[in-house]
Amino acid sequence: MTILDFRRALHKHPELSFQEHETQQLIINALHSEGIPYRVIAGTGVMAVIEGKRGNHQRAVVLRADIDALPIEEQNNIEYRSENKGVMHACGHDMHAAILFGVLQSLNRERNFEGTLFGIFQPGEELNPGGASLVLKEEPFKGYDVAAVIGEHVDSRLEVGEVGICPGRFMASNDEIRFKISGRGGHAARRKEIDDTVTAMADMVVRTTALNSPDGVVSIGRVIAEGATNVIPSVVTAEGTMRTFDSEERERIYRHIHGNARIIADKYGVEVIADIDRGYPCVVNDVMLSYEAMIIASDEGITVRELQPMTTAEDFGYYTERYPSLFYRLGVGAAAGGSHTATFCPDEAALEVGERMMRRMALHILNK
């Protein structure tokens, strides 16, 4: 199976996070046809293992691609359009998986490297707790000296033939914030007989967004107060997101949110529940790997763009917490449109660039 055929087969049959059963079987069939050893991991994922012809097999490089899709109805008029209603590879994970398959396919045929190469086709990147955390929970690299974990993400802000690399802190951690304020609801004109849950929530929102800083973003995107012009509801809820680039800043915001909840409860005589659903950690690229990747890309005739930190999040951060890691952006052209939209359509010419980049990085690190 060619890398292009692999990508199109995945695109036609996308599956949501942790439901990637058909996707998993397609990957298994492709690996089996190439004689590549594999095992199931994280429920609906697959891990390939290739040993080089020489060197210490305990030294390893891990290549990672995510495989889940999004709940979006595709609108592209293409021959390999999604056949699963309401589900689409609108984030390019089919591209990531195809590139990984291409690298494994070529390196397995040669095995002209030292050490062990792992290929992780990872489920559930789009949904907490994140498939990366489930992969690592199984300790698949126990007993190995992991020299690097490498991953990529397609990006329409870069043209085909370009990669974007950010040494050090690259992508933010992401947490979901939910508030629930409860009190005595009732007639809005009888203020002595009610608890003003609406004003209490407004105060809570203002205090929360005041926690924004250069290293932390806090936004509330949804507030529900089902009252009326003359009715104060007994319950008001709010939801938002929190992004940080620094673990200490993350903890500081946590503390202030819970402290503000206590202040609001005392001030307005209401019950305040502040629930923070901790999401993915920051993606922090190994600086040395970053600059080595820049040199390798240039040697391959690939244009390098040095990127600034992004407030978007990725569960690849779990890998960067444990091992030297590199996560970079692969250009798929402005004509691809925006990811997470029904018309996202990456230029497939990027597959060759992505495969070449990842292959060279793997060989460079393994053969050091």
Render 187-246 in DSSP notation, one character per residue.
Answer: ETT-GGGS--HHHHHHHHHHHHHTT-BTTEEEEEEEEEE--BTTEE-SEEEEEEEEEES-
Instruction: Say if residue 246's pLDDT is above 90.
Output: no
97-120: pLDDT as tens digits: 999 999 999 999 999 999 999 999
- Distance (Å, rounded) from C-alpha 362 to C-alpha 121? 16
What does the pLDDT read at residue 100?
98
What does the pLDDT read at residue 37?
98
Complete domains list, the chain, with CATH: 3-172+282-366 (3.40.630.10), 173-278 (3.30.70.360)
- Asked whether the CA dihedral 327, 331, 336, 338 is positive or negative, the reply is positive
250-287: pLDDT as tens digits: 999 999 999 999 999 999 999 999 999 999 999 999 99
Lowest mean pLDDT of 66-75, 118-127, 208-217, name the range: 208-217
- Average pLDDT over the chain reads 97
33-80: pLDDT as tens digits: 999 999 999 999 999 999 999 989 999 999 999 999 999 999 999 999
pTM for this model (two decimals): 0.91
Helices (H), 286-349: 287-299, 317-322
Tell me what percent of the chain is helix, strand and coil, each rounded to the nearest 5.
35, 30, 35
With a CB cutoff of 8 Å and minimum separation 6, the contacts of 248 are none
What does the pLDDT read at residue 215?
83
